[in-house]
Amino acid sequence: MTTPELLPISLVAHQAFCPRRAWLEAAGESTDTHQVQVGVQAHTPADDPTGSRSRRYRAVDVVSHDLGVYGRCDTVELDDDAAMTVVEHKATPVRRRPEVTEPMRIQVALQARALADMGYPVAGQAVYFTNHRVRVDITLSPADVAAAREMVAATARTLDAEQAPPPLENDRRCSRCSHISVCLPDERPLAPVTRRIVVADPDTQVLHLTTPGSRAYVERGRIEVSKSGEKLGSFPIERVQGLVVHGNVDLSSGLIREVLWRSLSVVWCTSTGRVTGWARPAQGPNGGPRLLQHVASHNGRIDLARQFVTAKIANQATLLRRHGNAPDTVTRLRELQRAALDALSLTDLFGIEGEAAASYFAQFLTMFRPKVVEAEQLTFSVRTRRPARDPINAALNLCYGLLTADILRAVVACGLDPHAGFLHSSGRNKPALALDLVEEFRAAVADSVVITAFNNGELRVRDFTTVLGTTRISANGRKALIAGYERRVTGTFRHPIFGYEVSWRRAMEIQARLVLGVIDGTQPRYEGIKIR
């Protein structure tokens, strides 16, 4: 990372809390946890300069070229002698004591010194704890100022380093850190995790727009969907974590702008599930690691490719063992799973993956209830992508498209480039990394959704039409399958490595972040998700 000429004071305070936290901030990683929202709310009055009164100024910008920092004081108070007191506003989660920490001392020390360097007399400094409504005055010693100066230098060293600082190990600071869900300090060793991880608002949903000829637009903070003057739906935009547009649905430019402004992405698919494009915000995190990703993709990372294929085959074997009737195939898949771990080249891996796929899909129909197969006259023997030759293939195509859309969002969210992959070739102009990660989720998520939808009667053969050898899914069938897919990805499972309950959608982002860790050097190795 390149160190800017002047460092933000807040970044130096993050360095004092944890060097990795400073790195993540500088790399553009932002989170939207409850903790962050509380902090933002607590600062809202202090961020408004129009709230200034005589002797009490708000949102005062300060700079010190001597220290090499700039920042903003929440409040600056004037006493009778026109000397100033810097007051920093801090939100603390309820029940914690209003105590001044080392990063806070560093922060107010730098603010006060910057104010003094600008020629204003400084009388003191304080922290105002907004939740407790308690103000704590701070007396600074020359040692505090020296420590603040040293912390500025340490921040510059952190940013100058070629590699991200490693996460802290078993450190209590992590449970108080708003960046734990993107830093993943507990997941790095690829072992069971006991600490609870707070993720960005877990109640938000991906909105699928499926009605042909409809139009979606934003109005008064809601996404409105209508067709021919009839309103089809209305959703609060803050509850949406991404948009997937299926087929012929129009989005207003206002909606696209609003979604991107909120750092969300939009994925467009055909009505059969093929991903045709996506839009992502101009600003994204981890520009440095993205460059390393391209180098790694060019040089090859067989260790990553092996894991994608191994996990894919393992999950095919588990799904077939659970729901099918083909023990010999399961045994062969387990052998191929082990062989993939030892593959010496991508060519070998493709050979193993191809044999596994042929064996698995040859027995795919055994996972459907015999009564359903008979009543619906279901047939399936081989995967036919484009065009789909039967209802099961058409349903699989749609679910793989939904899965690709989700993985694309996860890859983009952590700043990686969907096009620079390790198993799929980047030269084929496809989103290679997204397709790499899709592999380990295919059986556990998409295949499972298709099997469940037919077995439960949510999907019937009458939901499909076949014309000139191409099978297409009807609008009702698509809605049923998308609903089943959403239930699956928002539902939780016990993570096979970390042992905690996690939604499949969150698991996709974790896997993308583990790939990021391998690329930026903070993750010793990658392991795909293998369901048991």
- Residues facing residue 205 across a β-bridge: 240
Nearer to ligand SF4, 31 or 214 (CB): 31
Cα–Cα distance between 467 and 301 in angstroms, integer?
A: 43
Radius of gyration of the chain (CA): 27
Q: Which three-class secondary structure string do you get for 124-162?
A: EEEEEECCCCEEEEECCCHHHHHHHHHHHHHHHHHHHCC
Selected from 27, 183, 352, 438, the binder of ligand SF4 by CB under 6 A is 183
164 binds ligand SF4 (CB under 6 A): no
Nearer to ligand SF4, 1 or 260 (CB): 1
Tokens (6 digits) for 285:
């995190």
Selected from 89, 149, 179, 530, the binder of ligand SF4 by CB under 6 A is 179
Piece of the chain touching ligand SF4 by CB under 6 A; list 16-24, 138-146, 254-262, 483-491: 16-24
Site string for ligand SF4, 391-430 (x = CB under 6 A): ----------------------------------------
* Number of other CB atoms surrounding residue 253 within 10 Å: 8
Which three-class secondary structure state does DSSP give residue 122? strand
Tokens (6 digits) for 451:
């099997």
Piece of the chain touching ligand SF4 by CB under 6 A; list 32-40, 108-116, 170-178, 430-438: 170-178
Selected from 7, 18, 396, 453, the binder of ligand SF4 by CB under 6 A is 18
Nearer to ligand SF4, 18 or 352 (CB): 18
Q: In angstroms, give the least distance from the CB of 198 to ligand SF4.
A: 11
24 binds ligand SF4 (CB under 6 A): yes
Strands 240-246 and 205-209: parallel
Nearer to ligand SF4, 156 or 198 (CB): 198
Nearer to ligand SF4, 34 or 322 (CB): 34
Cα–Cα distance between 64 and 305 in angstroms, integer?
A: 49
Residues 210-269 that bind ligand SF4 (CB under 6 A): none
Whether a cis peptide bond, with omega within 30° of 0, leads into 98 is: no
Tokens (6 digits) for 117:
């360097």
Q: In angstroms, give the least distance from the CB of 450 to ligand SF4.
A: 38
Crossing angle of helices 391-413 and 432-441, rounded to 10°? 120
User: 250: Cβ–Cβ under 8 A, 6 or more apart, which residues?
Assistant: 214, 215, 216
Selected from 96, 173, 322, 385, the binder of ligand SF4 by CB under 6 A is 173
Strands 470-473 and 464-467: antiparallel
Tokens (6 digits) for 505:
């959608």
Which three-class secondary structure state does DSSP give residue 319? helix
Contact criterion met (CB below 8 Å) for 394 and 467:
no
Interface with ligand SF4: number of residues (CB under 6 A): 13
Nearer to ligand SF4, 167 or 421 (CB): 167
Nearer to ligand SF4, 65 or 173 (CB): 173
Selected from 21, 301, 306, 488, the binder of ligand SF4 by CB under 6 A is 21
Nearer to ligand SF4, 24 or 365 (CB): 24
State which H helix or E strand residue 236 sits in. Answer: strand 230-236
Tokens (6 digits) for 32:
């939207």
Nearer to ligand SF4, 22 or 432 (CB): 22
Selected from 180, 240, 244, 343, the binder of ligand SF4 by CB under 6 A is 180
What backbone torsions phi and psi does residue 149 show, to the nearest 5 degrees?
-65, -40
Q: In angstroms, give the least distance from the CB of 307 to ligand SF4.
A: 24
167 binds ligand SF4 (CB under 6 A): yes
Selected from 6, 153, 168, 279, the binder of ligand SF4 by CB under 6 A is 168
Q: In angstroms, give the least distance from the CB of 183 to ligand SF4.
A: 3
Burial, 140: exposed, middle or buried (Cβ in 10 Å; 0-12, 13-18, 19+)?
Answer: middle
16 binds ligand SF4 (CB under 6 A): no
Q: In angstroms, give the least distance from the CB of 158 to ligand SF4.
A: 11
Tokens (6 digits) for 264:
């969300």
Q: In angstroms, give the least distance from the CB of 200 to ligand SF4.
A: 14
- The single-letter DSSP state of residue 44 is T
Contact criterion met (CB below 8 Å) for 288 and 270:
no
Selected from 76, 84, 106, 174, the binder of ligand SF4 by CB under 6 A is 174
Q: Which three-class secondary structure string do you get for 396-416?
A: HHHHHHHHHHHHHHHHHHCCC
27 binds ligand SF4 (CB under 6 A): no
Where do contacts with ligand SF4 occur on this chain (CB under 6 A)? Answer: 18, 20-21, 24, 167-168, 173-174, 177, 179-180, 183, 185
